[in-house]
Amino acid sequence: MNRTMLIIGQTLSLSAKVAGALFLTYVYRKHRRKPALCWSLSWVAAASSIFADISENICLLSLSEAFWAALLFCGTLCLLEEKGDVNRMVKALSAIPVIISLYGILIGTLDYSSDWFALLGLPYAVSALFITASGLLIISLKDIYNTKAVHLGGVITVLGLHELDFPVLRLVERFAPIGFVLGSMLAVLSAYFMIKFVFTAEFIKVEKPRVEIDFTPGVMIVSPEEYPAIKEKLKEVPALAFVRDVNVPEVWNRFFVTTSGKDNAIPPTNLAKILDITTRYLREANEKGFHGVVVVDCLEYLKTYNGFEAISKFLASLRDSTVLHNGVLILVVEENAWETKELGMLKRILG
């Protein structure tokens, strides 16, 4: 392989992995997100694999790939755990690549086997499978993270599949330059999309307000005329907001409810996503010891797309989650837009 191409590829790959580790460490230190911690450590392990490759240290290369795959998989399972799709015991599976790598190193150290496939090929292939699985699991989170999950998960899946061909094609000289360049490009793309992913509002989560919240926990129904005063009171509070009004405080974690497919936008028919984001936000706020504040200023818009019955069920669940997690739910309601019977039922549901 051309040495210049080798050096350029290694430099690009190493830079991307170090940048990924640094940005993810920053996110973890600022927001205490466990997935960010696991992923930052995974990039440290991925970076060490480059030094192992340069020094031709098979044992270090095997362990580096194993820890990369294990920590990437563990961080992904942490995200799924937040959604309630996995329990903590399942995360023990993350140790499998490391165990297999250590076993291969052990049998090589004890001279039970000097076969390259047993020492590096098999552990490398298992690690690649876990990287692929991580990508597929990230894609499954597209209902929460939208296209960001598809982009990140897709690139990691392809990266894992590419890593999987290493034990098979390592001796094919014509493939070596192509495979190396492709691996470097996929590493750069993976780091890029992961950095974008962890800086999204959905991932970063809620921060404790720097000011005291003087609202009593529970549900508040306010009129459009009262709404500006509410925004003024909450101008320094990172409230979670589902809005049609674009003129809201900058510190709010805002989701614009619209039929357009823009980032940080939620379709009005996706009530389940609004409820899921709200529940996770309120639960985390409660765990951090403060009242989470949720603002919804587009109930009439939601009713137009879903009907009153669906909105009633949605608000009942929203109210229950608010009470359960000791939060504050502020609903902006234009009473003239509702029938008298609907308005009465709405107040009973939320009372």
Which pair of structure tokens corresponds to residue 94? Answer: 């993350």
- Please count the CA atoms within 13 angstroms of the CA of 47 that sit on its side-chain side: 18
pLDDT for position 294: 94
Q: Are residues 249 and 198 in the same domain?
A: no
Q: Do residues 177 and 132 touch, judged by C-beta distance below 8 A?
A: no
Q: Which of 169, 204, 239 is the last residue of a domain?
A: 204
**Assigned domain for 209 exists:** no
**Assigned domain for 88 exists:** yes
**Assigned domain for 213 exists:** no
Tracing tokens 């991307």 back to the chain, one arrives at 16
Q: Are residues 159 and 229 in the same domain?
A: no
Q: Are residues 196 and 224 in the same domain?
A: no
**Assigned domain for 121 exists:** yes
- Tell me the C-alpha to C-alpha distance, in Å, between residue 60 and each of 50, 167, 196: 10, 16, 30
**Domain limits for position 137:** 3-204
Q: Are residues 200 and 226 in the same domain?
A: no
Q: Which of 204, 230, 262 is the last residue of a domain?
A: 204
How far is it, in rounded angstroms, from Cα 221 to Cα 299?
Answer: 11
**Could you give phi then psi for residue 47, rounded to 5 degrees?**
-65, -40
Q: Which of 144, 177, 204 is the last residue of a domain?
A: 204
Q: Which residues pair with 220 in a beta bridge?
A: 330
How far is it, in rounded angstroms, from Cα 138 to Cα 21?
Answer: 18
How far is it, in rounded angstroms, from Cα 41 to Cα 37?
Answer: 6
pLDDT along the chain (351 residues), means of 10: 64 85 85 85 90 78 90 90 68 88 81 67 87 94 84 94 73 62 84 87 64 81 92 88 87 85 77 87 82 92 93 94 93 91 89 75
Based on the structure, what is the number of domains in the chain? Answer: 2
pLDDT for position 193: 92
Q: Are residues 339 and 232 in the same domain?
A: yes
In the three-class reduction of DSSP (H, G, I as helix; E, B as strand; rest coil), residue 88 is classed as helix
pLDDT for position 211: 63
**Assigned domain for 248 exists:** yes
pLDDT for position 76: 93
Q: Are residues 251 and 299 in the same domain?
A: yes
